[in-house]
Amino acid sequence: MFEDLKRKTVLITGASSGLGAGFAEIFARHGARLALAARRVEKLEALQRKLVDGGADVQVVALDVTDENSVEAAVNAVTPHIDILVNNAGVATFGRSLEISASDWDKTLDTNLRGLFLVAQAVARRMEREGTGGSIVNISSITALRASRGLAAYSASKAGASHLTKCLALDWAAHGIRVNALCPGYIETEMNAGFFETPEGLALIARTPMKKIGRISDLEGPLLLLASDAGRHITGIDLPVDGGHLVSSL
């Protein structure tokens, strides 16, 4: 179903760890060329070595999504072209909304919304200039679609990302560029695995209708659907992958 990915170049932002690194492994298994982007180049190079040892074609580019010059340089450095963008770079800010600082608010929105836009815009400009079209998958969250305590800045940034996705899908459809948002629920990564063993984490799992935490592998099918030609008539949607969290009873 995803044979077309063997001819595609995928730029993944925030690829140095977590979901971004997991997405890189998914695309590598399907034969895509990879461009891995993040600020922590040494971690990207470690992942590059691992994937190249498995037979993947991988390049590394330094990227700070909050810096317009860095974004432009990174997007232009990817060769030979960009067919798919997985716009994954982001930060999480936790804390009561009465106490969150202006600087934490600004950092969250600057990375998760402004940065996401800057990268999408730079990639779309290149796709339009080269006449290739392509697919942009913005990584949003179920917190964009339902309120969650202690996540005001993060949720606001992701809600903005989801609505921005719809606006960009409308603006860029004529250029053959599809724009969709993948909205993961609670997904276990190496950074948060310990939390799901705590009483709070176990309680969260218990509140999820499917009674289990998500894995990065649970995102594979939805991600590839939005990225590949299998989803060629899909644009402007939020696709939640959350074990039923959004339909849980109030």
Catalytic (active-site) positions: 141, 154, 158
Encoding tokens for residue 213? 């935490």
- DSSP state, residue 228: S
Backbone phi and psi for residue 118, each to the nearest 5 degrees, phi listed first: -60, -45
Contacts of 53 (CB under 8 A, 6+ apart): none
Q: Which residue has the tokens 């990817």?
A: 78
The residues near 100 (Cβ < 8 Å, ≥ 6 apart) are: 93, 152, 153
Find tokens 């974004």 and name the residue. Answer: 71
Q: In angstroms, rounded to a whole number, what is the distance separating the alpha carbons of residues 181 and 220?
A: 14
